[in-house]
Amino acid sequence: RGFEYAQKKGYPTVTLVHKANVIRATDGMFLRIAEEVAKDFPKIEVWKQNIDAMCMQLVKNPQKFGVIVTTNMFGDIVSDLTAQLVGGLGFAASASTSDSYGLFEPTHGSAPKYAGQYKVNPIAAILSVKLMFEWLGENKLAEAVENAVKRNIKEGKVKTYDLGGTSSTLDVAKDIVRILNE
């Protein structure tokens, strides 16, 4: 999927993140399979990075990496690290897709310790809806959601505690809906 996504979105590279020098069997297999898949995408350059070096590079030059393909364990590490680069887990949307099914959710999961407090930033969940719209081919809806989120952030009036505000989860969601309805 990573190579398909890179091709569709016009990214020239895919970075394979691994630790095959230590986790030889599984990460070695991951690299072999990814390299085999890469042969079907000759216009996309493949970069390989060990997870430790990748974390350093993501802090130093995050804009250098468009599409990252990795294992679940390293994906968890990289997604938490990169979430902080954009403001925290409250902004980190995710998509897990196949040809027939898609699962779209914030990378932070359900955050059970905040259940019933209505203080969690809903933007990651809302941006997950944007990813769902893209997957469904509803690009105008995806763009509208993204633009509404951007405007909410830019206006800075309705924001949750993680952004220095006092607004509730519902307040932020309602503000984004208000923007969408304008």
The whole-number pLDDT of residue 105 equals 93
Name the band, by pLDDT with cuts 50, 70 and 90, for residue 112.
confident
Q: Is the dihedral of CA 37, 25, 96, 77 positive or negative?
A: negative
- pLDDT tens string 11-60: 999 999 999 999 999 999 999 999 999 999 999 999 999 999 999 999 99
159, 123 Cβ separation under 8 angstroms: no
User: CA–CA separation, 134 vs 128, rounded Å?
Assistant: 10
Q: Are 84 and 111 in contact (CB under 8 A)?
A: no
| Mean pLDDT over each residue of the chain, to the nearest integer | 95
Where along the chain do its domains lie?
1-85, 89-182
Q: What is the per-residue pLDDT across 62-85, written as a single tens digit (0 to 9) for each?
A: 999 999 999 999 998 999 999 999
